[in-house]
Structure 1
Amino acid sequence: MKNKFVPLSLLTLGLLSACSGTAPTAALPAPQERFARVALVPLEAGDTPQSLAQAVGGEVLSWNDAGCASGDEANCTAMIGVNEKLSAQNLHALGGRTVYVEPNKDVFSGGGTMTATMGGRISMWSGGQFSQLPENTALWQKIRLEEAQQLAPKLGQGVTVAVIDTGLDLQHPAFDGALTDPSDWYDFYSDDAIPQDEGTSGDKGYGHGTNVAGIVLQVAPEAKIMPLRVLGPDGSGDVVMVAKAIFWAAAHGADVINLSLGSSENSKSVQFAIDWVTLKGVLVVSSAGNSNLNTITYPAANASNGYHSGNYSLSVGSVALNDVKSSFSNYSSSLKMVAPGENVYAPAPDGRMTSWSGTSMAAPMASGGLALALGQQGSSARLVENMAGNAADIYKISANGLYKDKLGQKGRLDLVQFLGHASD
């Protein structure tokens, strides 16, 4: 496996100084604290978390001074939560350095629709072989899952996939033995250690993370899921929550991070977190969004940005079983690939099972596929490139003519082709 991230610890104000070469460190805000804005402030020699918090008028949320000594500006930054706009006095106290400030509250949302009300069904979990649910037979045949699992007989063993989402139904029997140790879990939305999928059947986001995690495990049954909650029952969450969960996932041993969420805003704070964890070899998979637009949501849109993180980041859109672009899926020349994302049957809260549709359901198929490969070879290098570059060509389908070169480098996920070239 990759080199693991240095574990996060609670930030102790006044004990850290800039340019000491430590990894990003995060502090959890007081319960229910949700900042209006988040600021990224470049560090200078002599800075301490306490002095910088006072200068900005906020609370230090993460402190990354690993690149200060070498002059690496991207890794010499603090993330600070603020509720007021920075004043002239604040800027003067910061000595003229460039500060990036962005909105924080409810910037991100999870994308998907429970399809039980549209011809699907809700049922109770009945046990059995979780990876062979008959409701998904056609889906798995499309991406050639059975053959792929024969090629990767470890089935993702030893691989941790962080699902950063609405949380999980932690007591669902389908997840029995499939989750990481509870010490690795966190609920950044409620600020506690129990990332339970909360809400009622009428809430937009309720069950979203439970479904996503269930899809990962159907593809890679021996992988472990690290549940991290950043979205509320309405499916929305803050920039700070998402960024801190990404740092947390890497610090606690995640090999793959699944982000079935997105924003129309390009959050520098979230991309900052992604850039950092991908430097450590963590793979990040993001959904493309469900607005049928010729643009994809962030952070998926940054997966092809040409920076180092692009080699370890994957954007995923959705197609139907006939390989035609899903009516809801966003598309773009920067999209790396697509996967089946319609009527995917998986666990639901309260021990139930149901199906969801969305690019949120396509992304965890790719995350599970990456887990299969990691379980066999251990190295994350080139896996994203090889998965996208060995997808099935769907551009010969006439209905996709309007989307030429906008449904991925090649097209739809093919796990057999991918695994055959995963070590190239």
Structure 2
Amino acid sequence: MSELKAKRTCRRGGMVVCLLLLLAVVSAPAAEAQTRLIVRDSLGLPGINLTCLLTGCNVVTGLGDPDGQLFLVTFPAILDPVTSILRLSLQAGILSVEIDQVVNTQQAYASSTPSYLTDEAPVYYYGTTVWHGYVAQPGNQLIRTNQTHSTFNAAGAGVIVAVIDTGVDPTHPVLKAVLVSGYDFTRNVSGGSERADVNTTPSSSTAQTAEVNQRTVAVLDQRTVAVLDGSQYSAFGHGTMTAGIVHLVAPQAKIMPLKAFLANGTGYDSDILRAIYYAVGHGAKVMNMSFDYSSYSAELARAIRYANSKGVVSVASAGNDGLRTVVYPGGLPGVIDVASTSNSDIQSTFTNYGAPPVWMAAPGEGVVTTYPWGTYAAGWGTSFSTPFVAGTAAVMLGTNGGCSSSSSVPYGLAAADYIGDLDMGFGRLDTYQAVLACQVLP
């Protein structure tokens, strides 16, 4: 309730009042922590350097926006956060200031282990061997990816999909051939691997399949991967899993791993902004964003508008609160907001719903996908619905896909299967119908 009042007041008040209210309600840092702020300065780097010289802040890094105006700055813990914001807001050239809020990857409840998770029969799939349960799982059959590949000879070739997440295991045999150079924004190093978050590697001969409950932890056979037993690893594998679903749908697309989240599922707004600008600047045509902000970020909205202006398709998860509500970036204009349905085409109990902002739905229960160390996992949540749509967008934009890359939302995606639920937007994703629409419509 207090957050709602703050937002209403922000509509009536000025920038400084809004910042103070949102700081107090949403993301006031701990007393011992530095105050992290995202600042836009019309004077660029020289301007923000001078401002910090005058106010006592520290310029940590530029955030990669094309105008060179956006920066992460910190104030020492000795200064009150409110004082820090006021000091910045009154300086010449400062256009905006917002809290560098903490963002979370999506969470959801897990159900019983699906039988197809243990279907390890080897199947050849676009240059590598995969488990039969991965390609034959119900969700993949519902959206008709295999039929799409064979009918149209379209599998995402020529398209790069940026996966903004916890990183990707670059050694996974299913994914390593399709990865392009990425970046780890949590460590400021190239690559984008999430295996840097752990300091052990299980024996590949004894690794077990994983059952992931993103509300708690990734649960593996504790004889082999005991290191994952703890909240600090609650989202470990999340990025490898979302990347695996993109690959399942668009096996010829390239995947760009952009690590903006730690293994515990948390990341900073500033790192996500850097990832978006990096993706656009390095040739991505689709962005998969399986995370949400509970509070609106003006700079996030600006970054998405920039991506859209460059023809990048932005796909985001609707969230797993089981509510008729709006989260971001899914709720932003130009973003395809994806809810979850079961393998029986029923709205998932955990998914957020309501159209708008929900644009469409995709399978999100018991989804089998890749997991670090060469194994597989089953996951539940809109995190795993979203890459089905991102992969489909890649197929549509790729070789023989038939869709123009000039639009931020390929029009063929609306050719979904209506499942009798208006809260699920256009309906449940049908990859075949989406590509067919691109083939036959002008």
TM-score by length of 2: 0.74
Q: Shift of the alpha carbon at 1:65?
A: 6.3
Corresponding residue to 1:322 among 344, 359, 362? 344
Change (3 A) 1:252 1:116: farther
Matches within 5 A, 1:143-162: 143-162=143-162
Q: Alpha carbons of 1:271 and 1:111: their partners in 2 closer, same or farther (altered >3 Å)? A: farther
RMSD (CA atoms): 2.8
Q: Where does the alignment leave 5 or more consecutive residues of structure 1 unmatched?
A: 1-33, 67-75
SS, match of residue 63 in structure 2: strand
**Native 8 Å contact 1:125 1:174 kept in 2:** no
Paired AA for residue 79 in structure 1: F
Question: Which residue identity lines up with residue 90 of structure 1 in the other structure?
Answer: L
Question: What do residues 368-402 of structure 1 show as CA deviations (whole Å, max 9, x unaligned)?
Answer: 1011111134632347252442111111xxxx4xx
- What SS is found at the alignment partner of 2:190? coil
Q: Which residue, 186, 189, 193 being the options, matches 2:186?
A: 189
The aligned residue for residue 300 of structure 2 is 270
Letter in 2 for 1:101: E
Q: Partners in 2 of 1:239 and 1:52 — Cα distance?
A: 22
Deviations, residues 322-364 of structure 1 (Å, cap 9, x unaligned): 1110111111221100001111111111111121111011110
Assess, with a 3 A threshold, how the Cα gap between structure 1 residues 266 and 131 changes in structure 2: closer, same or farther: farther
**CA–CA separation in structure 1 for the residues paired with 2:176 and 2:155:** 16
Aligned to 2:371: 348
Instruction: Report deviation, 1:265.
Output: 1.3
Aligned to 1:16: none
* Shift in CA distance, 260/387, structure 1 to aligned 2, threshold 3 Å: farther
In the other structure, the counterpart of 1:108 is: 104
Unaligned runs of 5+ in 2: 1-32, 76-80, 199-226
Q: Which amino acid aligns with 1:134?
A: G
Cα distance in 2 between the residues matched to 1:107 and 1:361: 18
Give the structure 2 partner of residue 390 of structure 1: 415
- Aligned amino acid, residue 241 of structure 1: D
Equivalent residues in 2 for 1:222-233, closer than 5 Å: 222-233=252-263
Residue 39 of structure 1, CA deviation: 2.6
Instruction: Check if 1:78 corresponds to 2:70.
Output: yes
Partner residue, 2:140? 140
CA 1:170–1:81: 2 relative to 1, 3 Å: same
Counting only pairs closer than 5 Å after superposition, residues 50-61 of structure 1 correspond to structure 2 as 50-54=49-53, 57-59=57-59, 60-61=61-62
Distance in structure 2 (CA, Å) of the matches to 1:112 and 1:125: 29
Q: How many residues align?
A: 360
The one-letter amino acid of 2:71's match is M
380, 391, 407: which is aligned to 2:424? 407
- Quote how far apart the aligned CAs of 1:116 are: 7.3
User: Aligned residue for 2:389?
Assistant: 366
State the identity as a percent: 29
- Runs in 1 of length 4+ with deviation above 4 angstroms? 44-47, 63-66, 112-127
**Could you tell which deviates more after superposition, 154-163 or 115-124?**
115-124
Amino acid at match of 1:92: L
Please tell me whether residue 416 in structure 1 is matched to residue 432 in structure 2: yes
Note the alpha carbon deviations across 1:290-318, whole angstroms, 9 max, x for none.
1101113211011xx3xxxx1xx211010
- Deviation, 1:158, is 1.1
The SS at the match of 1:368 is helix
Q: Which residue of 2 aligns with 1:91?
A: 89
Q: Which structure 2 residues correspond to residues 147-296 of structure 1 after superposition, within 5 A? A: 147-180=147-180, 184-197=181-194, 198-199=197-198, 200-202=227-229, 203-296=233-326
1:7 maps to none
**SS where residue 161 of structure 2 aligns?**
strand
Query: TM-score normalised to the size of structure 1?
Result: 0.77
